[in-house]
Amino acid sequence: MLQQFRMLFQCLCLGCALLASFANAEPDFISPTPLVDRIDTPVMPVKTTGPIKVPMITWGGDMITLLANGLSTRTQAKSIFAKQGLDVELVLQDNFDRQIEDYLAGESPYLRCTVGMCNQAIDLLNKDERTKPIVIYQLTWSRGGDTLVSKNGVMTVGQLKGKTIAIQAYGPHVDFMTTLLGQAGLSMKDVNVRWLPDLTASENSPVAALSLPDVDASFMIISDAYGITSGRRVGTGDRGSVEGARMIISTMFARRVIADVYVVRSDYYASHKADVERFVNAMASANDELQVLMKDLQNPRKLSLLEVAADVLLGDKAATPDIENLYYDAQFTGRDDNHRFLQDDLYPHRLSVLNNRTQDAFLELGLIYSHGEMKAASWD
């Protein structure tokens, strides 16, 4: 309980500081268009000389990849990846456009995304046979790391009808939004969506937009929500909070909506299937080790992992409490979970269900032009 209180206090302080820094700034809203119209990177063969580049994003699930690589961005001797015969260079890339450009150009055969993010690029990824996406591994479900914050008297998702929502374009919350609205009996035509380029830590992010009088709700990460709601209560308007702001639902309760995955190019999967399978096996083994490690409070290797993850993912070696927050915001998925997600036709939260649901919504939003295939890998 003391540890949870400390984490809450740290998130609150960070959120207040960030909000105060752009309290008087006016967000620059954007009008998103399908990614196939914006990204024209030529498709090139995957570079197979030297280490294989593997992208990561700032999320607790990516601790698995760092652990598999030997607590380094380059594969270390005796690491889980090394034991599988892999040579990997991990690259932090939170800009999904840049990830896609590297993927198309052959700089990396992999994408690190949520299922919703990859479906926003489905037209582009399926444009060339070589880059058709295959989902090979699920790292996590979001479990409390993402939330919807409202004000102006909005207490439930159903009360958003006719209201204005701020959200990052092309980010991890778009399918979260469409799922919640659908469950409340609303369609995208029932709300006014205002799009922003950034997820967090910017005047062009949803947390900043909620301070505008005409924005009724925003989708944001949990650390932003702590600050804007005066510590998960109701915002008072002091210390960077927004008066009346409250969290009305998060992925702690709306679970199995945001799935974090690795995707591989079809041509690389066909020509290097053994390497891809070794990558997946290494990730699964690292996940098993991570869960044991995080329960061992005094293990020096756990402390080393937290410091490396804080340094690589957050740019601050001392930010180990924040990395722990990210870890606990995720529901990690092991081998059996991956089998259900990728191959079990009776599992209600399987990949194909998420694909169909998100693509239906993205068509309505004008973010894609048509349904497209995103296959699941088949592992023994």
* Domain 35-141+258-376 identical in fold to domain 144-250: yes
The superfamily (CATH) of domain 35-141+258-376 is Periplasmic binding protein-like II (3.40.190.10)
Q: What is the per-residue pLDDT across 304-338, written as a single tens digit (0 to 9) for each?
A: 999 999 999 999 999 999 899 899 999 999 999 99
Query: Contact, 137 vs 334, CB < 8 A?
Result: no
pLDDT at 22: 54
Higher pLDDT, residue 227 or 13: 227
pLDDT at 14: 47
At residue 19 the predicted structure's pLDDT band, cuts being 50, 70 and 90, is low
Half-sphere exposure of 300 (CA within 13 A, CB side): 0
Mean pLDDT lowest among 3-12, 84-93, 116-125, 343-352:
3-12
Percent of the chain whose pLDDT exceeds 90: 83
pLDDT at 109: 98
CATH class of 144-250: alpha beta
Q: What is the per-residue pLDDT across 85-113, written as a single tens digit (0 to 9) for each?
A: 999 999 999 889 999 999 999 999 999 99
Percent of the chain whose pLDDT exceeds 70: 93
Q: What does the domain layout of the chain look like in residue ranges? A: 35-141+258-376, 144-250
Distance in angstroms (rounded) separating the CA atoms of residues 260 and 262: 7
> Which residues are bridge partners to 30 per DSSP?
195
Q: Which of 362, 295, 376 is nearest to 124 (CA)?
A: 362
What integer is the mean pLDDT of 253-261?
A: 94
pLDDT at 232: 76
Q: What is the per-residue pLDDT across 141-150, written as a single tens digit (0 to 9) for each?
A: 999 999 999 9
Give DSSP secondary structure letters for 137-176.
Answer: EEEEEESSSEEEEE-TT--SGGGGTT-EEEEETTSTTHHH
At residue 50 the predicted structure's pLDDT band, cuts being 50, 70 and 90, is very high
